[in-house]
Amino acid sequence: MFKEFKDFALKGNVLDLALAVVIGGAFSKIVASLVTDLITPILGIIIGGINVSSLKYNIPSSISGGVAVSINYGLFIQSVINFLIIAFSLFIFIKVIQSVQKKKTEKIIVKGPSNEEILLREIRDLLKQK
């Protein structure tokens, strides 16, 4: 059973997936910092000096049954910005990878016949002559 688990865990796909999860976690922290530390303050300046993440709506305690409740829609807006930046970054990353793969495919297609193909053609032509 341990051997089967080891074989499963050390397959290329599982290791690639684990690496992708770790890199994705680190990437999301970078994007969160980008949004929190750069984009949100700039957005706040544009909309009049308001810190977007601190936007909230307070529901009076008389309406909510004696308990003060606040709806933090600014944090939601910041999360949406995070998502959009991550989605856009992944879109660009995938486009670049597809572009590189397409160029590799084009190089393979442009390449002429291999030496084996040339040799086989010559043999075929010689056999036809006899």
CATH number at residue 59: 1.10.1200.120
pLDDT in tens, 1-15: 888 877 776 676 777
How many CB atoms within 10 Å of residue 42?
Answer: 9
CA angle 48, 53, 57 (to 5 degrees): 85
pLDDT, greater one: 58 or 65: 58
User: What three-state secondary structure class fits 38?
Assistant: helix
Let me know: does 40 contact 81? Beta carbons within 8 Å: yes
The CA distance from 48 to 57, in Å, is: 18
Let me know: does 34 contact 85? Beta carbons within 8 Å: yes
Give the count of domains, the chain: 1
Let me know: does 44 contact 32? Beta carbons within 8 Å: no
What's the pTM value of the predicted model, to 2 decimals?
0.53
The DSSP secondary-structure symbol of 112 reads -
Domain that holds residue 19: 2-129
Position 97 scores a pLDDT of 83
Closest CA to 78 of 32, 110, 42: 32
**Quick one: which H or E segment has residue 58?**
strand 57-59
Statement: residue 28 has pLDDT above 70: yes
Position 109 scores a pLDDT of 62
Statement: residue 21 has pLDDT above 80: yes
Q: Percent of the chain at pLDDT above 90? A: 3
Let me know: does 15 contact 6? Beta carbons within 8 Å: no
The CA distance from 40 to 53, in Å, is: 8
Position 124 scores a pLDDT of 92
pLDDT in tens, 68-116: 788 889 889 888 887 888 788 778 888 888 888 787 776 666 567 778 8
Position 89 scores a pLDDT of 77
Average pLDDT over residues 12-22: 78
Both tokens assigned to 20: 């992708």
